[in-house]
């Protein structure tokens, strides 16, 4: 089955519900401009004592290098998701400073040309394709214009597909594309940062049955 990453947790109980459903990849948002933002001190309690084998990804937007490194170290994050306009040089420096950590570069897909250039420019472990919104860095619940993904050779074995994925459309999306994983936030929420156990369970069930 495709890997499922649930992003934007703000409550420990929601994480525990996700893990009970078999979710192995979770995301915590450290971008202060996000409604799902979690301060480092709160994140420490949020992530304390998680079972082995759980991948915890920290989401950052154009972060200060020192703050990024300190956050990853303090919380022992599995990796980082860079959701801003980070340069290739910055990503390579992060890779050098964080050996063994996962690096995900988010691409907000505005047009096919930009997508192709991004794929040629960046060298992360994984890409995350999200919808484009000039007023937001992500988490809008807006579906990607999937026509922009057609006619381009993409490394689907290294791609998380995001952007408006819900329990209702996940199976349909996965019939069109075969990504390494999907990334879901608003699609399983009752409000920004507050996850709905029933929606998370339905997401998993629909993917399995799709």
Could you count the other beta carbons within 10 Å of the beta carbon of residue 45?
Answer: 10
- CA–chain centroid gap for 110, Å, is 18
Q: Could you report the per-residue pLDDT of 95-135, keeping only the tens digit for each?
A: 999 999 999 999 999 999 999 999 999 999 999 999 987 76
CA-based nearest residue to 90, from 121, 56, 57, 131: 121
Return the SS3 of 192. Answer: coil
SS3 percent helix, strand, coil of the chain, rounded to 5, is 35, 20, 40
User: Residue for token digits 């619940």?
Assistant: 141
Q: How far apart are CA 192 and CA 8, in angstroms?
A: 8
pLDDT tens digits, one per residue of 175-187: 999 999 999 999 9
Q: Are 78 and 101 in contact (CB under 8 A)?
A: yes
Helices (H), 22-159: 40-47, 65-75, 88-97, 112-121
Q: What CATH number belongs to 3-209?
A: 3.20.20.70
Backbone Cα Rg of the chain: 16
pTM metric for this prediction = 0.95
Residue 137: is its pLDDT beyond 70?
no
Q: Using one digit for the tens of pLDDT, what is the confidence trace for 57-88? A: 999 999 999 999 999 999 999 999 999 999 99
Q: Residue 16 and residue 104: Cα distance in Å, rounded?
A: 24
């Amino acid at each position: 089955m495709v890997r499922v990453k649930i992003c934007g947790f703000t409550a420990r109980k929601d994480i525990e519900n996700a893990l009970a459903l078999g979710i192995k990849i979770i995301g915590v948002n450290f971008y202060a401009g996000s409604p799902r933002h979690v301060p480092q001190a709160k994140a420490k309690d949020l992530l304390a004592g998680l079972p082995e084998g759980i991948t915890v990804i920290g989401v950052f937007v154009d972060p200060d290098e020192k703050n990024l490194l300190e956050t990853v170290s303090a919380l022992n994050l599995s990796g980082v998701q860079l959701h801003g306009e980070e340069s290739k040089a910055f990503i390579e420096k992060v890779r050098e400073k964080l050996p063994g950590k996962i690096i995900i570069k988010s691409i907000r897909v505005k047009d096919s040309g930009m997508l192709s250039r991004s794929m040629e420019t960046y060298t992360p472990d994984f890409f995350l394709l999200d919808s484009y919104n000039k007023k937001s860095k992500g988490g809008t619940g807006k579906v990607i214009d999937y026509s922009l993904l057609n006619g381009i050779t993409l490394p689907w074995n290294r791609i998380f597909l995001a952007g408006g994925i819900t329990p209702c459309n996940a199976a349909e999306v996965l019939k069109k594309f075969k990504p390494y994983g999907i990334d879901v936030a608003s699609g399983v929420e009752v409000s920004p940062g507050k996850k709905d156990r029933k929606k998370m369970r339905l997401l998993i069930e629909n993917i399995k049955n799709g």
